Structure 1
Amino acid sequence: MIAVADRGNYPVLGVTDPLGDSHEHIPTAIALDGDEFVCGHDALERQHDGLTLVRSFKRLLALPTVTADTPVRFGPIQRPLNEVLVAFATHVAEQIRNSPFWGGECNNEPIEAVIGVPANAHSAQRLLTLDAFTRADIEVIALVNEPSAAAFEYTHRHPRGINSKRTSVLVYDLGGGTFDASLVRIDGTDHEVIRSLGISKLGGDDFDAVLADLALAHAGRTDDVFGDRARGRLLDEARTAKERLAPQSRRMVLEIGDDDVVVPVDEFYEASAPLVARSMEAMLPLIGERVDTGLVDTDIAGIYLVGGASGLPLVPRLLRERFGRRVHRSPYPAASTAIGLAIAASPESGYRLRDRLARGIGVFRERQGGAGVTFDALVAPDALPDADGSVVARREYRAAHNVGWFRFVEYSAVDARGEATGDISPLTTVAVPFAAHLRDGRDLNAVPVERTDQGPRVIETVRVDANGIASVRIELPDDGLVVERAVDRVA
């Protein structure tokens, strides 16, 4: 969804589909017609012409090794992810310019935007997102974590929800492909993110898959083999049936081929409950140790449910059973983040956000003359940025080897031994010739790592900018050697 900042108001932008009907969202869907991409509502309409529809391409961004060249499959055809992202971002820009909201007066106006990303997004995911919208001629003012933006919408909608005893809100953001949760402390219009957690592959797509498999079981077709296009149609059926669910619904009807298949809602809920349980378990560290009493002994004003998948009636029901009455669903769960982003984009709102990192940065480096590897955590997952929005970690030491191999990663947590655990994504690998005679351009991969006693002085700096994109710098100040690397997943 897209919301705009309009003189203190933050309406959701309407878009028109090929049939002339108005909608408040652009489906994250794309198809390929020859060499041309077809996006959004156009893609949904054209799938009836036999085009292969891809819905979950944004999930590829969460892959630890994602690059611009990561393939997206359109049936037998593959296209690089960056082409898909740029095509979709360009479509978004066109929909903004052509929206009825502007009355046809926005065709040549520059577009400035604040873009939302999952709180758990790693540097490559952020960089590819930023690059796609920039190539679509959108000036990206900032990337903001989606739950943090939703906290703005909460405060805007519930200005009296925060008081001297209840000073924070826990944003539960269950989207189409990802789950994020952020604990946000609020003081008037000042928002400070205390901590964020997430699961990169948990969202509405998983509920759709559960329902589709149940429908196949009821139709006696569990063992059937489906092609991509047929499976896609079945998932579309499941998504449509799921989104039509009301609290009083008792059964769901899906069309498989020429047959209508009935799935009891209770059966769907029972099969889906483990997905909701995973989300609740993931956010428990944000509540604290006394989770058995719900939110009673905390300063949390409420758990705020946002994201399209949180509209499933099962989600608020299970959360209220676990955490009590302070569970509130946004009246516009799919639009909450967009509204918050519009508030963030408007200087007139007066809202300020001090976010924290959701992922830390560390490095695997050689030890014992290359016989082993040790992990050093450099930036903590909940590091608080400086006034300019960046996080900088700097350390100085003497090199102990002839060659320094630095394998920088982003991580979600460390275990009791201080080793990286949870989601780990490679950031960049840097090789530095500490020994002067190795600085002749040779391939350092062919040089055995050897321990030395009098290595040069090393200054190692890791920086995470205001958009959450990391870079590293290795400097030998006495030798005048500098090696710099940024995450480079964009072609």
Structure 2
Amino acid sequence: MSGMSDQPVLVVDFGTSSSAAMVVTGETGELVPDPVTGAPTWPSAVHWDGQSMIVGALAERRKRSEPTAYAAEFKRGMAADVPMTLGDRRFRPIEQVAAVLTALRAEAERRYGAPVHRTVVTVPASYGPDDPRRAQMIAAAEAAGLGPVELLPEPVAAAFAPVAGPPPVPGELVLVYDLGGGTFDTALVRIDERWHEVLGHAAIDDCGGRDIDALLAGRIHADGQQWLAPLLASAAASQSAPATLRLGMAVTDFANRIKHQLSDTPAVEDFLLPDTPAYRLTRADLAQLVAPLLDRTIACCRQMLAAVGVPPASIGSVLLVGGGARMPAVAQAVHDAFQRPLRQVEEPELATVHGAARWLPRSGPRTIRASTETTAMVPLSFGIPGGSARLHRWLVVPGQPYPAGTPLARVRLPGGALWDLVAATPGTLDRLLVPPSAEVTSHQWLALATG
């Protein structure tokens, strides 16, 4: 997009369990922390208080008091698009996504001190050009007051993240292994100086950190049956759905806490409640518990590589990103499976947003000059990268004169990026030949102009 790198841009990595955002100006970027906790990531959670939607850490804090008005992981429901009841209202997943994006925009503008009108939202590589979730994510961002909205594949963004040691070199094939909070995504990326190319991708929608939490919560239920049974019976006896929900949330949060502790220490001993017995788990226990889940991710990677005809030996390195990459068991499983060098980032849960921020100023002006010289009446056509795109909108109207270099229209490439079609010479737009939202091809006549 013309001059995009010189203007403030909000970069958003909207994740299933947590989201992150940065305001990028030129070569610098500033994270937008959750205003309640100051953490660099926001829980992708909402809470309907009867009048407004509360998001992030504040929603997490209210889930115990009103669990039936709380929701998380709604990104998983975007494909089905089934409304869910929160308190006294029903909300579609797109509305919940828009609520989180609205809060991110408001906090970004508060910290930046001015409106931020341009946005890059990262999406899984599995969101192909015809996937309805792409349009839903764009619609949610526009409903949140953001626009124009560009989409950037998450593995492309992650490949730009700063890594320990030397960065990947142009031409290198990098296998991106992204174990997020709610999903697993993998992609094979060919590194280039400006535009990385996604050669293949695959995803598992029910395989992420939250699923590991659920496995661990199930083990806690089984191991602590003697002391959990009275608590469960008490919740059931109260005939209160919220009481049962609160107990389930407490056990899941406890499992998540143990999992995170085991990333830093070989064994953990912790308490669900002050008066419950200590629960002990080792890193080896957790590795054994999650082995079947990690086996699924490895199989997903192998199937994707086979589909694109690239043997593991041709991979230059494997990039571990996503919050799940903090688990030692993940690095060990990936190394054992592929025997390739591992690239790791200091904060894997922030790899995508940091990478997108680094990609932005390197992505160029993204403008296309008209390939036809203006005479009395000439068609305007443009050489579109990749050969095709969708016309996003016209930026001028018939009868409007324009100088050379004026953006005439904007197109969205199949990967989600927005490019401006600019005038090579001055002229006046006579008529439009292609309406917005239409598919266009390279050098197709899009409009007629006069000199």
TM-score, normalized by the shorter chain, greater than 0.5? yes
Q: Distance in 2 between matches of 1:78 and 1:7?
A: 41
* SS of residue matched to 2:185: strand
Task: After TM superposition, list the pairs within 5 Å mapping 1:123-272 onto structure 2.
Answer: 123-153=131-161, 160-162=167-169, 167-220=172-225, 221=228, 227-255=244-272, 258-265=275-282, 266-272=284-290
2:94 equivalent to 1:82: yes
Q: Distance in 1 between matches of 2:340 and 2:415?
A: 36
* SS of residue matched to 2:385: coil
**Paired residue for 2:51?**
35
Q: Distance in 2 between matches of 1:237 and 1:194?
A: 39
* SS of residue matched to 2:63: helix
Q: Distance in 2 between matches of 1:485 and 1:351?
A: 24
Q: Distance in 2 between matches of 1:257 and 1:76?
A: 34
The letter for the 2-side match of 1:4 is: V
2:122 equivalent to 1:116: yes
* SS of residue matched to 2:286: helix
Rate the CA distance shift 1:141–1:85 in 2: closer, same or farther, 3 A: closer
Task: After TM superposition, list the pairs within 5 Å mapping 1:27-66 onto structure 2.
Answer: 27-52=43-68, 53-61=70-78, 63=79, 65-66=80-81
2:303 equivalent to 1:285: yes
TM-score, normalised relative to structure 1: 0.63
Alpha-carbon RMSD: 3.5
Determine if contact 1:112/1:140 at 8 Å carries over to the other structure. Answer: yes
Rate the CA distance shift 1:389–1:238 in 2: closer, same or farther, 3 A: farther
Q: Distance in 2 between matches of 1:209 and 1:160?
A: 35
Q: Distance in 1 between matches of 2:387 and 2:344?
A: 30
Normalized per residue, the structure richer in helix is 2
Rate the CA distance shift 1:184–1:82 in 2: closer, same or farther, 3 A: closer
Identical counterparts, % of pairs: 26
**Paired residue for 1:438?**
none
Q: Distance in 2 between matches of 1:76 and 1:267?
A: 42
| Counterpart pick for 1:7 among 12, 26, 34 | 26
Q: Which runs of 5+ in 2 are unaligned?
A: 1-19, 237-242, 367-383, 391-411, 418-435, 439-451
Q: Distance in 2 between matches of 1:82 and 1:188?
A: 35
Q: Deviations over 1:221-260 (max 9, x none)?
A: 4786773333223222222322232353213535158525
Structure 1 residue 139, shift from structure 2 partner = 1.2
Determine if contact 2:316/2:340 at 8 Å carries over to the other structure. Answer: no
Determine if contact 2:200/2:305 at 8 Å carries over to the other structure. Answer: no
Q: Distance in 1 between matches of 2:329 and 2:86?
A: 33
Q: Distance in 2 between matches of 1:93 and 1:157?
A: 31
Task: After TM superposition, list the pairs within 5 Å mapping 1:410-421 onto structure 2.
Answer: none
Structure 1 residue 307, shift from structure 2 partner = 1.0
Structure 1 residue 268, shift from structure 2 partner = 2.5
Rate the CA distance shift 1:34–1:10 in 2: closer, same or farther, 3 A: same
Q: Distance in 2 between matches of 1:76 and 1:257?
A: 34
2:355 equivalent to 1:336: no
Q: Distance in 1 between matches of 2:177 and 2:167?
A: 20
Rate the CA distance shift 1:207–1:311 in 2: closer, same or farther, 3 A: same
Q: Distance in 1 between matches of 2:328 and 2:263?
A: 7
Q: Distance in 2 between matches of 1:464 and 1:350?
A: 14
Q: Deviations over 1:374-410 (max 9, x none)?
A: xxxxxxxxxxxx6167469xxxxxxxxxxxxxxxxxx
* SS of residue matched to 1:316: helix
The letter for the 1-side match of 2:168 is: G
Q: Distance in 2 between matches of 1:268 and 1:147?
A: 27
Rate the CA distance shift 1:261–1:4 in 2: closer, same or farther, 3 A: same
The letter for the 2-side match of 1:120 is: S
Rate the CA distance shift 1:351–1:301 in 2: closer, same or farther, 3 A: farther
Structure 1 residue 217, shift from structure 2 partner = 1.0
Rate the CA distance shift 1:389–1:136 in 2: closer, same or farther, 3 A: farther
Normalized per residue, the structure richer in strand is 1
Q: Deviations over 1:306-354 (max 9, x none)?
A: 11122222111211222235122221211110012223333xx24799x
* SS of residue matched to 1:227: helix
Rate the CA distance shift 1:158–1:126 in 2: closer, same or farther, 3 A: farther
The letter for the 1-side match of 2:107 is: Q
Structure 1 residue 54, shift from structure 2 partner = 1.9
Determine if contact 1:11/1:339 at 8 Å carries over to the other structure. Answer: no
**Paired residue for 1:94?**
106
Q: Distance in 2 between matches of 1:485 and 1:16?
A: 38
Rate the CA distance shift 1:350–1:133 in 2: closer, same or farther, 3 A: closer
Determine if contact 2:164/2:345 at 8 Å carries over to the other structure. Answer: no
2:40 equivalent to 1:24: yes
Structure 1 residue 110, shift from structure 2 partner = 2.8
**Paired residue for 2:445?**
none
Q: Which runs of 5+ in 1 are unaligned?
A: 354-385, 393-462, 469-483, 487-491
Comparing 300-309 and 264-273, the one that deviates more: 264-273
Structure 1 residue 215, shift from structure 2 partner = 0.9
TM-score, normalised relative to structure 2: 0.68
2:324 equivalent to 1:309: yes
Q: Distance in 2 between matches of 1:41 and 1:389?
A: 44
Determine if contact 2:216/2:255 at 8 Å carries over to the other structure. Answer: yes
Determine if contact 1:173/1:310 at 8 Å carries over to the other structure. Answer: yes
Q: Distance in 2 between matches of 1:193 and 1:82?
A: 27
How many residues of Structure 1 are paired with residues of Structure 2 in the alignment? 349
Determine if contact 2:318/2:341 at 8 Å carries over to the other structure. Answer: yes
**Paired residue for 1:467?**
416
